[in-house]
Amino acid sequence: MTDFKDRERGEETKYAFDQETEFKIAARRNRLLGEWAAGLMGLTEEETDAYKKAVVQADFEEAGDEDVIRKLLGDLTASECDVSEADIRAKLDECQIEARRQYMSDEN
């Protein structure tokens, strides 16, 4: 019985660790995405820092990526940048890969 409880605790710990890792990668991805969008909008360095934080915050509105995509699409459209939703989704995928790579290299 102890082995089962130990294994159960181990699985719970691993799940919590995996969730935390995915959260950190998503936050890093959103910062990279915010930096990209800020560059398209021609924001200053200070504005870019604030915008990256705003993109990370936008991800807390609902589960999934739609809240981030909606924010970026709205902001980029308001800034008269010629970027489509498909462009944003493609960049989101690129940033996901880069964020995971950065996170894994930071862990080593």
For 21-107, CATH gives 1.10.790.20
**74 in Cβ contact with 61 (< 8 Å):** no
Per-residue pLDDT reduced to its tens digit, 37-73: 999 999 999 999 999 999 999 998 888 899 999 999 9
Task: Say whether pLDDT at 106 is over 90.
Answer: no
By the 10 Å C-beta count (0-12 exposed, 13-18 middle, 19+ buried), 75 is classed as: buried
Q: Which residue in 22, 21, 23 sits closest to 60, CA to CA?
A: 23
What pLDDT is recorded for position 17?
Answer: 80
Count, residues in the chain: 108
Q: Which residue in 55, 59, 57, 86 sits closest to 72, CA to CA?
A: 55
24 confidence band (pLDDT: 50, 70, 90) = very high
Mean pLDDT on 21-49: 96
What pLDDT is recorded for position 1?
Answer: 58
